[in-house]
Amino acid sequence: MNPLLTLNSLGQSVWYDNIQRSMLSSGMLQKLVEDDGLKGVTSNPSIFEKAINGSSDYDQALATLRSENPDADARALFFSLAIEDIQAAADVLRPVYDASDGKDGMISLEVGPDLAHDADGTIAEGRELWKRVDRPNLMIKVPATREGLAAIQQLIADGINVNVTLLFSTQRHEEVMDAFLSGLEARLKSGKPINTIASVASFFISRVDTAIDSMLDDIKTEDEDLRKKANSLKGKIAIANAKISYQNYKEVFGSERFQQLREAGAQTQRLLWASTGTKNPNYSDVLYVETLIGPDTVNTMPPATFDAVRSHGHPHLTLEHGVDLARFQVNMLPEVGITLDSVTDDLEAQGVDVFAQSFDTLLEAIDNKLASENFQNAASA
């Protein structure tokens, strides 16, 4: 059996962390749905930057948009291009959405990363994108910054599906779940339905190990026991961090507070494992898939990881194995001089910066294309 299909049978939805126009025009996305049981797609500013800046797939569409909107700036042109892709992907995924009663079949579009610390700006752009895309299986992606929490709560209260992204810490995850529940409660109190709202909390995995492993490698000590402790934690903390968050998820969504919302038709806010491509070549290329398999979760995989799982994955339920060991490993970090909260705070800030830089590069690339002689000739042809 296709291992990707096995994941679905174990209760974990397989999503694809990539989108570009050629996937849609070639029928590739449709094939992934039909052959591999693909249940959703995620995008981010870095993915769109590579797609638009790294190919000519969008040049003709960009020329058309410019001719129709000569005063539009690069940001407006980008969102017009992105929305075309998001709408087309949403339509391919719509049967999955319908078959799952609105749980899967989702496509994500992120608000501009320059709004990561602007709650009001995030809310306004989230509402605008939701209206422009006009698909029930859209998720608006919102970074899990402190300012993002207020935006998440309001967008959920508005009845907008939200993918909470750049989530690294268990504490911030608890705050995200509270924002989700508060948004549902506000909407229910206003007499509006909550049974059609879907949300995921995108918990980043591999970046945590990359940061922690580097710090463990930098530990210089003559203490043999300390060196052994440090070595024993390599490649373990990202998975441990995720397993602890899943236990927190079960507690929150098994609570009396959520039960009242469930009775009104509310879905849980599933954990979505993001950044699941293995960056350390010494680790298995399916490490961050096979160690985090459990019900009511999502794994969004970059193309290489998706192909690796299909090729040689051996899925079985693992997410609740070794939870006590996971807590022990995280609690051991201070003994080797590492504060996990500090690391995850830094990763959040870095994640916002990386997406902002990709967005800036993308807008600059659009401006450069518009100014190029070849583009102008093509546009006037």
pLDDT of residue 151: 98
Query: What is the spatial distance between Cα 78 and Cα 70, in angstroms, rounded to a whole number?
Result: 14
3-class secondary-structure state, position 203: strand
Q: 3-206+242-319+353-376, superfamily in CATH?
A: Aldolase class I (3.20.20.70)
Residue 246 neighbours by CB distance under 10 Å = 23
- On whether the CB atoms of residues 273 and 205 are closer than 8 A, the answer is yes
pLDDT of residue 377: 57
- The yes-or-no answer on residue 250 being catalytic is no
Pinpoint the alpha helices (H) of 135-169.
146-157
Question: Tokens 């290489």 belong to which residue?
Answer: 304
pLDDT of residue 226: 87
pLDDT of residue 55: 81
Tokens, residue 215: 């710090």
Instruction: Dump pLDDT digits (tens) for 71-110.
Output: 999 999 999 999 999 999 999 999 999 999 999 999 999 9
Instruction: Map out the domains of the chain as residue ranges.
Output: 3-206+242-319+353-376
- On whether the CB atoms of residues 114 and 79 are closer than 8 A, the answer is no
* Helix (DSSP H) and strand (DSSP E) numbers for the chain: 18, 8
3-class secondary-structure state, position 307: helix
Question: Which entry of 141, 229, 236, 243 is annotated as an active-site residue?
Answer: 141
Residue 219 neighbours by CB distance under 10 Å = 15
Query: What is the spatial distance between Cα 239 and Cα 251, in angstroms, rounded to a whole number?
Result: 19
Burial class of residue 118 (count of CB atoms within 10 Å of its CB; 0-12, 13-18, 19+): middle
Instruction: Dump pLDDT digits (tens) for 351-363.
Output: 999 999 989 998 9
The reported pTM is: 0.95
Burial class of residue 244 (count of CB atoms within 10 Å of its CB; 0-12, 13-18, 19+): middle
- On whether the CB atoms of residues 186 and 158 are closer than 8 A, the answer is no
pLDDT of residue 270: 98
What's CA 152's distance to the chain center, in Å? Answer: 14
- On whether the CB atoms of residues 86 and 107 are closer than 8 A, the answer is yes
Q: Which residue numbers in the chain have pLDDT < 70?
A: 373-381
pLDDT of residue 373: 53
Contact residues for 105 (Cβ-Cβ < 8 A; gap 6+): 39, 40, 93, 94, 95, 96, 97, 98, 99, 137
What single DSSP character describes residue 137?
A: T
For residue 199, give the H/E element and its range: strand 199-204
Query: What is the spatial distance between Cα 3 and Cα 90, in angstroms, rounded to a whole number?
Result: 24
